[in-house]
Amino acid sequence: MSEAEFISAYDRFADAIFRHCYFRISDRERAKDLVQETFCRTWAYLVKGGEIENLRAFLYRVANNLIIDTYRKKSALSLDELAESGFEPSVDAGERMLKAAEVRRAFSLLSNLDQKSRALVIMRYFDDLGPKEIAKITGETENAVSVRLNRAVGKLRNFF
């Protein structure tokens, strides 16, 4: 992989990775940091001679691990607490008018799920990743992913 190819991968996937991180840790600034960290670590892996079959999945995998580390490091901000305290998601100024309400709704819905299920729902519905890819990213079996995803969806159904 050349430098030119890699940076064009950034152009393609930056938004998606950002969005994924944002909805999982509900912090725009930290999400941006994670995007940078994800791409830099991926490049470092390539420089060391690592081979990557599916770059998109690899990026999500790195991001996923970084997010899990983030949870471990700080006493995880409970989205429940946030939702109750009238949490105002840090939507960008341009997005504020149109999206704040929907984003709050999305966060609120997601807060009803546990961390793992939330991750799966975001990957399936926000990132359009297939069950196989999700399995590779999370390191679980396709079956386990399907089962957990179905349960999560079932739970969400109650809120509509």
Partner 1 sequence: MKEFEKLSEEMKNIVLTQKERAALRFSILDFIKTNPVSSQVLLRLIFQRSIIYSWQLLALFIKKPMPILLILALILGGGGVSFAAENALPGDVLYPVKVKVNEEVVAALAFSPEAKVNWEARRLERRLEEAEHLAEKGELKAEVRERIEENFERHAGRVRVRIAEFEAKDLKAAADISSNLEVSLQAHARILAILATSTGQATTTATEVGKLLFRIKTRGDDASRLRIEIEAKVASSTQPEVKNAAEGKLKAAENKIEEVKKFIAAMQERLGEEATLEAEARLKVAENTVIEGRAKLEAKAFADAFGFFQKAHRIAQEAKLLIKAREDLKIDVRIKNDEDEEGAREEERDENENRGRGRGGIELELGL
3-class secondary structure, 110: helix
Q: Does 39 bind partner 1 (CB under 8 A)?
A: yes
CB of 58 to partner 1, least distance (A): 15
Q: Residue 7 interacts with partner 1 (CB under 8 A)?
A: yes
Tell me the window of 42-50, 57-65, 78-86, 138-146 that interacts with partner 1 (CB under 8 A).
42-50
Among residues 30, 56, 99, 116, which is the contact residue for partner 1, using CB under 8 A? 99
List phi, psi (to 5°) of 139.
Answer: 80, 10
Neighbours of 142 (CB within 10 A): 14
The reply on whether position 88 binds partner 1 by CB under 8 A is: no
Q: Which is nearer to partner 1, 51 or 75 (CB)?
A: 51
Task: Report how far residue 129's alpha carbon sits from residue 13's, in angstroms, rounded to the nearest whole number.
Answer: 13
Backbone dihedral region of 26: left (phi > 0), alpha (psi from -120 to 50 degrees) or beta?
left
Among positions 131-160, residues that touch partner 1 (CB under 8 A) are 153, 156-157, 160
- What is the H or E stretch that residue 99 is in? helix 93-110
Quick one: DSSP state of residue 159? T
**Under 8 Å between Cβ of 115 and 70:** no
Range in contact with partner 1 (rule: CB under 8 A) among 37-45, 64-72, 79-87, 129-137? 37-45
Q: What's the rounded Cα separation, in Å, for the pair 67 and 72?
A: 9
Binding to partner 1, residues 12-31 (CB under 8 A): 14-15, 18-19, 22-23
- Do the Cβ atoms of 110 and 155 come closer than 8 Å? no
> Is residue 94 near partner 1 by the rule CB under 8 A?
yes
Which residues of the shown chain bind partner 1 in the complex (CB under 8 A)?
Answer: 1-4, 6-7, 10-11, 14-15, 18-19, 22-23, 32, 35-36, 39-40, 43-44, 46-49, 91-92, 94-95, 99, 102-103, 105-106, 109, 125-126, 153, 156-157, 160
